Amino acid sequence: MDKATSSSRRSPWFWAGNYLASSAIIVVLKLTDAITAPVAMILFLGAMGLLIPLVRASERGDCVNPVIIRYNRRFLIASFGYVLGLGIAIAVWNSYKLTGATVFALALLPTLPTFGMIWAMGRYLVEETDEYLRYRMVRAALMSLGLVLAIGIFWGFLEMFELVPHVWSWWVLPVWAVGLGIAQVVMKVRGE
Amino acid sequence: MNNRLRVLRAERSWSQQDLADRLGVSRQSVNAIETGRYDPSLPLAFTIADVFGLPIEAIFSRD
């Protein structure tokens, strides 16, 4: 078996592990000030390249759901757009003194791809014809929404009483995404 | 809700995937219905009945 074939046969977990390890190393390097923010952003964009074989590996097999394939591809494109948009927005923000409409446009750069992620999730629910898989996703989304509301409300009051620092409100999307993962684990543990 | 999906499937020597293909759903769906983790909608219950050539009440029953 040649090298290329061997690489294309690796499991999705292999690529997911490589992606998480690469991201963790970049975060450590940035936190220890070993690299600057632009370098970290470029490295992270490179690490995201590992998501392409991850998605391709998950598309192998006889019973792959075409709706999942479309969802994964849409989400991947939106993720690339997000990192790229965020990188450009931060770089421009740090380099120029901007105000008004320009800042508004700058904020749209990372925002629009996240709208793409939300749209991809919505389309999955519309296109999924398997009612059980749709039920699981809706259930996970509601559980995750509950988590976001609970954390948001609790943090809001802690912040109001000056116990915790202010947090930018875009935290809702990553926390919601993490909540989706937690919900899947909870449903698995509960045998749902 | 109880169901006889596993028995009916075994009588026909169908795997979960075979039944899933006939129903146009995922194997996970068949597994979830068989093990009682998920009650199918009425349209899916009718499709299951059609696939086995039986009335719904011969497949599904109340607890």
Which residues of chain A are within 8 Å of residue B44 when distances are taken between CB atoms?
A: 131
Determine the pLDDT at residue A8: 57
Contact status, residue A56 vs residue A28, Cβ threshold 8 Å: no
Chain B residues with CB under 8 Å of a chain A CB are 17, 24-29, 32-33, 37-38, 40-41, 44
DSSP for residue B57: G
Contact status, residue A52 vs residue A27, Cβ threshold 8 Å: no
Which residues of chain B are within 8 Å of residue A137 when distances are taken between CB atoms?
A: none
ipTM of predicted complex:
0.91
pLDDT per residue over B21-61, tens digit each?
999 999 999 999 999 999 999 999 999 999 999 999 999 99
Which residues of chain B are within 8 Å of residue A134 when distances are taken between CB atoms?
A: none
Sole residue written with tokens 């975060």 = A27
Q: Which of B26, B40, B41 sits opposite A133 (nearest CB)?
A: B26
Which residue of chain B comes nearest to A65, CA vs CA?
A: B26
Contact status, residue A152 vs residue A192, Cβ threshold 8 Å: no
When computed from its CA atoms, the radius of gyration of chain A, rounded to whole angstroms, is 19
Q: Which stretches of chain A are DSSP H helices?
A: 3-8, 12-31, 37-48, 51-58, 66-95, 100-127, 131-160, 172-189
DSSP for residue A170: G
Mean pLDDT per 10-residue segment, chain A (192 residues): 55 84 89 84 84 80 78 90 89 88 93 94 94 94 96 96 93 90 88 76
Asked if A63 and B29 come within 8 Å (Cβ–Cβ), the reply is no
| Closest alpha carbon to A180 in A121, A120, A128 | A121
Burial zone of B5 (CB within 10 Å; 0-12 exposed, 13-18 middle, 19+ buried): buried
Q: Which residues contact A139 (CB under 8 A, 6 or more apart)?
A: A183, A187, A192
pTM, rounded to two decimals:
0.77
Which residue of chain A comes nearest to B21, CA vs CA?
A: A63
Q: Compute the distance between CA of residue A13 and CA of residue A18 in angstroms, rounded to an integer.
A: 8
Asked if B44 and A133 come within 8 Å (Cβ–Cβ), the reply is no
